Amino acid sequence: MSAEHTPAPPRWAVVAAWLVPLTILPSCVWRVTELWTADDLFSGGVRHRLVDDGGWYLIVLSGLSLGFGLLTSGLVQRWGEIVPRWIPVVGGRRVPVRAATGAAITGACLVMAIFLYGTLNYAFGWVEQGPVLTGRASGDHAPPGAGVAVLYLPLGAWGPLLVAVALNYRRRRAAATRGGSGAMGHEATSAA
């Protein structure tokens, strides 16, 4: 059965897929804005924080995490089933279900492990944070406190949301491969 007959994702899966980037956004915004103060914009301090203090990784980390979060939407979109034709070499081919769900589940497990480690580290102070995160290098920023923890709290939902959407994706794609099941199978039978 072709991808055209893959059952549409349920509304909750679509909402969950689009919630993932929203769970990532608050921490990304904080990371990027932590690179400068109003004075830094006019004094060249932004370059110092980006280059000398290693702050470039905050921008890269924010961009990568948002990019991976947006990839979750592929699990509820057509391009998550068939690679868009404009992509060289693989365009027009079906996305392997095992590869997509395997990558999603692995990513979700990594995100949940990192979140757990970060939460425990925040609670017990196992590792001291670097100068970009704490602002201790230049003395113009206070160490992150409970307010920053609130911005990172939504990240706890990223892993579970991704698992739920990935499992739904696998179920829907398996139903299409088997020739339909449940309501889709009945619709196909009654239409014939």
- pLDDT tens readout for residues 139-150: 444 556 677 888
Taking every pair of C-alpha atoms in the chain, what is the biggest distance, in angstroms? 73
Burial class (CB in 10 A: 0-12, 13-18, 19+), 18: middle
> Which one has a higher pLDDT value, 184 or 97?
97
Q: What is the pLDDT of residue 48?
A: 56
6 Cβ contact partners less than 8 Å away, ≥ 6 residues apart: 81, 172, 173, 175, 176
Instruction: Please give the Cα distance from 52 to 132 (Å, whole number).
Output: 10
| Residue 98 structure tokens | 């095992």
Instruction: Please give the Cα distance from 119 to 112 (Å, whole number).
Output: 10
- pLDDT tens readout for residues 5-17: 788 999 999 999 9
172 Cβ contact partners less than 8 Å away, ≥ 6 residues apart: 6, 7, 9
Q: pTM for the complete prediction?
A: 0.76
Q: Is 80 exceeded by the pLDDT of residue 187?
A: no
Looking at residue 15, its amino acid is V
